[in-house]
Structure 1
Amino acid sequence: MNDTARSRIAGAPISWGVCEVPGWGYQLPADRVLTEMAELGLGATEFGPQGFLPEQPRAKAELLASYGLRSVGGFLPVVLHTDHDPLSEVDAFIDDCLASGAGVVVLAAATGRDGYDARPELSEVEWKALLGQLDRIADHAAERGVVAALHPHIGTLVEDAADVRRVLEGSHVGLCIDTGHLVAAGADPVAITLAHLDRVRHVHLKDVDAGLAAQVQDGSLAFSDAVSQGLWTVLGRGSVDIAAMISALEGHGYTGWYVLEQDLKLTGEPEGVGPRADVAACLAYVEGALA
């Protein structure tokens, strides 16, 4: 494997089915996940959900280091559209990042509800609050030496192309481009990336089964059920031109992370090789695209 390419590619526990959503599925232990990441040649990972790693920042960092891994940051769903102040949650997450050499806080505009199968419509007042909090968090994160990037995500308050446009026009926060979630919301992640290369701070790579994504978009299939049925595919086997997006980012001077993140739901202990086989295939694809 090319060491230069490998140094830009990170894993994510959700590719092994480890997720923050209650009842999501069978949760593999950290030892198996981190061991397999290391065996695949990955040198970095996102944190995963609360409880996957130890609670204390130094303990997180020490556990990852014991597997030869560092963290790049991770996913932080926070409520941004009410009078709730999210800064204490953000600061605790930044503490984790700084302890383990991570640099990215991947924000999601949480609804305040469990799961991602439904979301409310925001009023103009709520949108104003959300955009103001994004700028506040982005500025605060920069002051502490890390980057905050908003992740458009199914079932959150910023999910589709119209939502992304409103964020881009109404705030200065950077974006975490997630190729899968944008497609599932009916948006074109490659077009959004090409039009806003300067705003991309972090990248989650998924490929997508177009038929299942269409059912999520028209409401005939719940997002969580689509994931169970194989919404996310191995990179290069779905409908997203991942290679073109990587090429555009690299040509523009993007130096950030590419996170392999094929959200998975497990019904029990995997037989045989398990999730690592798909992660290995995705890793090879991205390494080739970066070569």
Structure 2
Amino acid sequence: MGRVTIGSAPDSWGVWFADDEQQTPWERFLDEVAAAGYRRIELGPYGYLPTDPARLKDELDKRGLAVTAGTSFEHLHRPDSWDSTWKDISATAELAAAMGAKHLVVMPSMWRGDNGEVVEPRLDHEGQARHGKQVTELGRRIAAEYGLKTQYHPHADGHVDSQETVERFLDETDGEYVNLCLDTGHISYCGGDNLKLIQDYPDRIGYVHLKQVDPKVLAEVEAAGVGFDEAVRRGVMCEPPNGVPELPPLLDALAALDVDLFAIVEQDMYPCPPEVPLPIAERTLAYLRTHGGGVSV
């Protein structure tokens, strides 16, 4: 059985941006994520945590925390987008590597905006193939220059979101350089099947984000035709075990892959009152320890 190591992320403290007065200050996030019992975290949006490696390492060390990954978006489906994508991603990769992380979580840009309008056409099969080649090259360069493995994160309202687009993305990319960050909430939000992805692509599951979707809220936002940001504001991502997918069967399936994985709790809650995240983080970790089979922290 593989080891599934649980961590958390700034997202579970309502953090989406490098700087936003509605968000939990970074010092409070680090204090509370450690107090909740987690020992591994992601960087969150670049610039939220200190970007000076020496300072960040000191802040992490005094709280007993370690970084598993950095996260960044890409827009490589667009012509002539390599330089702008690389500028953002390389900064995150450099900091993650300096913190001893082994992974970089990369997400697609959006085809739908906050109020539900289509801001870009969906990629056709030819566009998906071109995108896959670009992301493979991105993963190759990230590995060569920073020693990190690229874990691609499907995202609701993004160019890789539904079961079909995730499967095609995996078919169009090279597993030597790009694997899947299985975000259980985003897959369920888009009507996908997390267990089927684990079963059909066992060698491509390289990293995990754990979250659940409230089916009632999801039905309401789908009926209203609103975008993902508004859905989050309405509480579409919920505290386990109150939503879908069921996490214990997923954790069992992940452990059965017989590889070591990081599973990062990432409950979208932007924006949220500052007193809300810590109790949820504590209850979530207790739930996962009780119902997660072979999980560890």
Q: TM class, shorter-chain normalised? A: 0.7 to 0.9
Higher relative contact order (CA 8 A, sep 6+): 2
Matches within 5 A, 1:1-291: 8-20=5-17, 26-82=22-78, 83-85=80-82, 86-111=85-110, 118=118, 120=120, 121-124=122-125, 126-143=127-144, 144-172=146-174, 173-218=178-223, 220-270=225-275, 274-288=276-290, 289-291=292-294
> For the Cα contact (< 8 Å) 1:175–1:200, is it kept in 2?
yes
For residues 136 and 218 of structure 1, what CA distance do their matches in structure 2 show? Answer: 39
CA deviation after TM superposition for structure 1 residue 237, in Å: 1.8
For residues 268 and 276 of structure 1, what CA distance do their matches in structure 2 show? Answer: 11
Cα 1:133–1:42 shift into 2, 3 Å: same
Cα 1:74–1:60 shift into 2, 3 Å: same
TM-score under structure 2 normalisation? 0.86
The one-letter code matched in structure 2 to 1:57 is P
Uncovered stretches (5+) of structure 1, i.e. residues with no partner: none
Cα 1:119–1:69 shift into 2, 3 Å: farther
Alpha-carbon RMSD: 2.5
Give % identity: 28
Q: What is the number of residues matched between the two proteins?
A: 283
**1:290 alignment partner, SS class:** coil
Uncovered stretches (5+) of structure 2, i.e. residues with no partner: none
For residues 48 and 182 of structure 1, what CA distance do their matches in structure 2 show? Answer: 20
For residues 63 and 112 of structure 1, what CA distance do their matches in structure 2 show? Answer: 37
For residues 89 and 112 of structure 1, what CA distance do their matches in structure 2 show? Answer: 20
**1:91 alignment partner, SS class:** helix
For residues 115 and 51 of structure 1, what CA distance do their matches in structure 2 show? Answer: 23
For residues 12 and 266 of structure 2, what CA distance do their matches in structure 1 show? Answer: 5
1:151-177 deviation per Cα after TM superposition (whole angstroms, max 9, x unaligned): 000121111111101101111220000
TM-score under structure 1 normalisation? 0.88
The one-letter code matched in structure 2 to 1:131 is G
> For the Cα contact (< 8 Å) 1:119–1:155, is it kept in 2?
no
